[in-house]
Amino acid sequence: MGEVRPFCQSRTVIHVNTHRFRVGCGSEEAVDTSIMKGFGFEVIKQEGKTGARAGVIHTAHGKVATPVFIPVGTRGTVKAMSPEELKGMGIEIVLSNTYHLYLRPGEQIIREGGGLHKFMHWDKALLTDSGGYQIFSLANLCRVEEKGVTFQSPLDGGESHFLSPEKVIEIERNLGADIIMPLDDCTTYPCSHEEARKSLELTTRWAERSKKEFGESSSQALFGIIQGSVYPDLRKESAKELIGLDFSGYALGGLSLGEPKNLTREILDSTLPHLPRNKPRYLMGMGTPEDLFEGVIRGIDMFDCALPTRNARNGCLFTSRGKIVIKNARYTRDFSPLDPECDCYTCRNYSRAYLRHLFNAEEILALRLNTLHNLHFFTRFLQRMREAILAGKDLSSLNPRNIDK
């Protein structure tokens, strides 16, 4: 939708075929009709010195302020958290995984249960990943062909399954998420230029089939996934081809697979300028605070990663003063809050000493309190970046690298 322009209060909305126009200020202004269908995106403000931008994603289940961190709820739940606790932190969107939900409990059961929103008791926005990465991470159990992917279930290693691009879209229709991702082919790192090219070409052909199968939707949005490993020319080619298919948003996949961080940033720098300004940009599977900062200043709107929840369960906590490994003996008699600058439930009520005791005693409450804090920290970090962009403030003060550890 681009920049938001003011228009006079007295106006009429006119529908012309599939378009609509605001009239009443002396001219007609084209409006993104996707918002009428339940999905849309607005860039509200872009920071002057960098590519950082603040926006809003519109979905049938509410608005999502960007830049945004999306907690990973792989199997229809963010581990250790209730939906009410997530909403209490200000979280507006959650990610679930099509591959895992297809295997258990099955998309038909979820459909019979009223769709994924109702099934998991979540009334805000939902995004479902196709599960392509999960499938290809089990290389010894899968076979990739033009028609799709055949794989053995990791649950028992016996039953064989087949997923085509069309089948994945069908499953995601049944799940009913607001934003859905097509099946893509993921390469390993490192891989040759030729291997990366073949992978992105297959991803593009699958994207075409997915778009055709998707058709038109009154409530869902389909994003394209840019591949090409760490080769800038291939990333540019992938972006160009997917833009030609006119997806509702564009994701960068196939990163955070072991490549050096400076190489990841180079790929962002060389790819993002080729993406349309009026569509959301999604960096898949990356989520350290440093990743978030570097992504935002380059123009990324959406992030997801299992890091904060996984690290929380392993006793690694993110704070305004750096990471804390709570099991360490140095916290035995530390009765200060986990993070003095954090206002989450955990930091308001519990000391480092108590959190250490819970974790070392293997109490379930430790996992819950740790997860709550890490998710709050990540959510609040991007909220502060958004606030700084809107206020026109210098973003460098929020760079995690500047933390005095």
Whole-number pLDDT of residue 134? 83
Cα distance between residue 79 and residue 367, in whole Å:
9
Whole-number pLDDT of residue 67? 98
Nearest residue to 29 (alpha-carbon basis) of 11, 53, 54, 55: 11
Q: pLDDT tens-digit profile of 113-167?
A: 999 999 999 999 999 999 888 887 776 778 999 999 999 888 877 789 999 999 9
Tell me the torsion sign for CA atoms 284, 290, 292, 293: negative
DSSP for 65-120, please give it: EESEEE-B-TTSS-TT--HHHHHHTT--EEEEEHHHHHHTT-HHHHHHTT-HHHHT
Would you say 185 and 132 are in contact if contact means Cβ atoms under 8 Å apart?
yes
Whole-number pLDDT of residue 133? 84
Would you say 206 and 213 are in contact if contact means Cβ atoms under 8 Å apart?
no
Whole-number pLDDT of residue 37? 55
The two structure tokens encoding residue 397: 């003060």
Whole-number pLDDT of residue 137? 78
Would you say 249 and 221 are in contact if contact means Cβ atoms under 8 Å apart?
yes
Cα distance between residue 228 and residue 327, in whole Å:
40
Would you say 57 and 125 are in contact if contact means Cβ atoms under 8 Å apart?
yes
Helix intervals (H) in 177-228: 193-214
Would you say 64 and 308 are in contact if contact means Cβ atoms under 8 Å apart?
no
- CA distances for 191 relative to 188, 195, 301, angstroms: 6, 6, 28
Residue stretches of the chain with pLDDT short of 70: 1-37, 139, 404-405
Whole-number pLDDT of residue 38? 84
Q: CATH 3.20.20.105 residue ranges in the chain?
A: 53-305
Residues annotated as part of the active site = 129, 304
Whole-number pLDDT of residue 34? 42
Enter the pTM of the model: 0.90
Whole-number pLDDT of residue 154? 84
Look up the CATH superfamily of 53-305: Queuine tRNA-ribosyltransferase-like (3.20.20.105)
